[in-house]
């Protein structure tokens, strides 16, 4: 049986994640309050942030930035797009 959560982002009872997707308290909070569907939306947003800001996963400042954006995305009213962002057509 799949685990469901009341998704903080989408506001519906949806299928939850299998395990915390991030270490620490934030990962546990996401596990308990974010659906698989919302997590997939974050992964797309995160990819856009990494590409637009040319972030490196090896850079501690980049990881901290992404963690802050992740928290805003799910629990703080949303994570914005970079200034001047134009999606590919």
* 83 occurs within a structural domain: no
* 21 occurs within a structural domain: yes
Distance CA 18, CA 21 (A): 9
* 34 occurs within a structural domain: yes
pLDDT at res. 17: 97
* pLDDT (tens digit per residue) in 36-70: 999 999 999 999 999 999 999 899 999 999 999 99
Q: Could you tell me the residue range of the domain that residue 30 belongs to?
A: 4-75
Name the pTM for this structure. 0.88
Would the pLDDT of 24 be above 90?
yes
Residue 55, token pair as written in the block = 């972030």
pLDDT at res. 42: 97
* 88 occurs within a structural domain: no
Q: Using alpha carbons only, what angle is made at residue 73 by residues 72 and 75, rounded to the nearest 5 degrees?
A: 60
If one counts the domains in the chain, the total is: 1
- What lies within 8 Å, CB to CB, of 41 at 6+ separation is 9
């Amino acid at each position: 049986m799949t685990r469901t959560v009341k998704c903080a982002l989408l506001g519906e009872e949806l299928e939850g994640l299998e395990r915390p997707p991030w270490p620490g308290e934030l990962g546990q909070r996401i596990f308990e309050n974010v659906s698989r569907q919302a997590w997939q939306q974050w992964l797309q947003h995160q990819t856009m942030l990494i590409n637009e800001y040319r972030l490196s996963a090896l850079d501690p400042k980049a990881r901290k930035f992404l963690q802050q954006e992740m928290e805003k995305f799910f629990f703080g009213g949303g994570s914005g797009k970079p200034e001047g962002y134009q999606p590919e057509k």
